[in-house]
Amino acid sequence: MVQFQEQSWHIRDRFFLSGKYRAEVGRLNSRTEHEKGRNNSPGVAGEGFLATLTSCRLCPRACGVNRLAGEKGFCRAGVRPRVALATLHHWEEPCLSGSRGSGAVFFSYCNLRCAFCQNYRISWQGRGREMEIEDLTALFLDLQAQGAHNINLVSATPYTPMLVPALREAKKRGLKIPVVYNCNAYESLESLRSLAGLVDIYLPDLKYIDDGPARRYSQAPNYFSVATAAILEMQRQVGILTFDAAGLARRGLLIRHLVLPGQAEAACRVLEWVKANLPRETYLSIMAQYVPVWQAQRYPEINRRLTAAEYESVLEYFDALGLENGFCQELDAATTDYIPNF
């Protein structure tokens, strides 16, 4: 029996921030990351950790830049984690947001260049501030103390080596709530394996099935083959999504797919891949929240909102395939009103 839960997700219109870690709009870190000759070490790092930054291959782009020397690769991330916002976030899937919010930590920079990115201020422009590893640990514990149902690491791919010691220390110091790794699925298997045992819930966005749109809209060659290999590794680590008595996610895989204008047929093929390669009980979140922001106007075919007919055709195909579990959205989720003000 299909269990398809309808939810707009934009129930609340306020963020609850920890004043100590707030990243305000316009307050960019003034430190020059290109400075040479100074100690760029993030403060808590072993020899193996440092080695990953001297020739960065944390994601499939394998840029090979020396981030410790101030070099920048495709994502432009530096040597320290850069955080744009930490908040009790109420606009995720209901099994993540619950009644008190998901403890979302939005990281700056990204290894994709999505023309329609709603978070372009941080993913493209890098708004935020640098933090030490010990500050990340304190931030996770602070969000738990505020009542967060989970720690939601949003677009943390460029900072995986920093997350590992931060999460380990947080767990030693009493972090009990689930850790969510919220990503674009353009991940290396090595990075994902370094997170095994630290991440409880994987929340990848399976964006594309065709290489053309992946390159055109996100500058992501071989996206589908990379992303599906990553998702299979996530499934291996955490399995089917499971819940507590209150309906909150505790462990497992939840795959998102944002339906793009004119791409309903491609979305249906994404569902076919899920059916063919993952357990029938796998949870999907089929999203209708696309808004033509940032550079979407450069591409006439996606410079519009999704139609009801397009979205409904994907939901109907979900049902026809016999997939069992998922979340959907109302079309009024497609608005800029609910984009965080980074």
Q: For 269-302, write each residue's pLDDT tens digit.
A: 999 999 999 999 999 999 999 999 999 999 999 9
State the pLDDT confidence band at 12, using cuts at 50, 70 and 90: very low
pLDDT of residue 283: 98
Q: Name the token pair of 197.
A: 């045992």
Placement of tokens 């209708």 in the chain: 288
Q: How confident is the model at residue 333 (pLDDT cuts 50, 70, 90)?
A: confident
Place of tokens 């992501």: 220
Kindly indicate the confidence band of residue 49, based on its pLDDT and cuts at 50, 70 and 90.
low
Cβ atoms within 10 Å, residue 274: 23
Number of other CB atoms surrounding residue 336 within 10 Å: 9
pTM metric for this prediction: 0.87
Q: Which domains does the chain have, with CATH numbers?
A: 3-28+82-338 (3.20.20.70)
Whether residue 342 is predicted with pLDDT greater than 80 in this model: the reply is no
**117 labelled binding-site residue:** yes
Give me the chain's average pLDDT, please.
88
Say if strands 283-287 and 325-328 run parallel, antiparallel, or are unpaired. parallel
pLDDT tens-digit map of 162-211: 999 999 999 999 999 999 999 999 999 999 999 999 999 999 999 999 99
pLDDT at 334: 81
User: Nearest 5°: phi and psi at 202?
Assistant: -100, 130
* Band of residue 48 on the pLDDT scale cut at 50, 70, 90: low
Asked whether 255 and 213 are in contact (CB, 8 A), the reply is no
Residue at 293: amino acid letter:
V
Q: What is the mean pLDDT of residues 237-242?
A: 98
Distance CA 289, CA 305 (A): 8
Least confident among 6-15, 47-56, 72-81: 6-15
- 95 carries a ligand binding annotation: no
The SS3 call for residue 228 is: helix
| 335 pLDDT tier (thresholds 50, 70, 90) | confident
High-pLDDT (> 70) share of the chain, %: 85
- What per-residue confidence (pLDDT) applies to 40? 46
Q: Can you spell out the DSSP letters for 1-37? A: --EEEE---------EE-GGG---TT------TT--S
The gap between the terminal CA atoms of the chain, to the nearest Å, is: 41
Check: CB of residue 156 under 8 Å from CB of residue 167: no
Between CA 321 and CA 317 the distance in angstroms is 6
Report the distance separating Cα 75 and Cα 82, nearest Å.
12
Min mean pLDDT across 45-49, 249-253, 259-263 is at: 45-49
| Joined tokens for residue 225 | 């083959």
252-272 pLDDT, tens digit each? 999 999 999 999 999 999 999
- Average pLDDT score over residue span 121-130: 96
- Lookup: tokens for 54: 């001297």
pLDDT reported for residue 51: 78
